[in-house]
Amino acid sequence: MKIVKEREQLKALSRKDLQEKANGLKRELFSIRLNSMTAHVKDYSQFKKLRRSVARALTLLNKENVSS
């Protein structure tokens, strides 16, 4: 259910906002990766969740490129 809400929120964003969201998610993923190298990470499932969120955002961006 949460995935459907996230997908609908991403669809509602403009192209520019969607691109900013994808970049923000990528930065967050990088930050978590960096923290995992230097310190203990409590929740390793965050890696998978962030990767999938980035993929969703990029998929919607690519869909808009094809249809435009």
Number of structural domains the chain divides into: 1
Chain position carrying tokens 């955002």: 57
Going by the DSSP 8-state scheme, the letter that residue 1 receives in this structure is: -
Q: Burial letters for 37-46: b for 16+ Cβ neighbours within 10 Å, e otherwise?
A: eeeeeeeeee
CATH code of the domain in which 32 resides = 1.10.287.310
For each of the chain's 68 residues, which pLDDT tens digit applies?
688 888 889 889 999 999 999 999 999 999 999 999 988 888 889 999 999 999 999 999 998 877 76
What is the reported pLDDT for 68?
64
Tokens of 49: 């969740």
Domain membership of residue 34 as a residue range: 2-67
What is the pTM for the complete model shown?
0.85
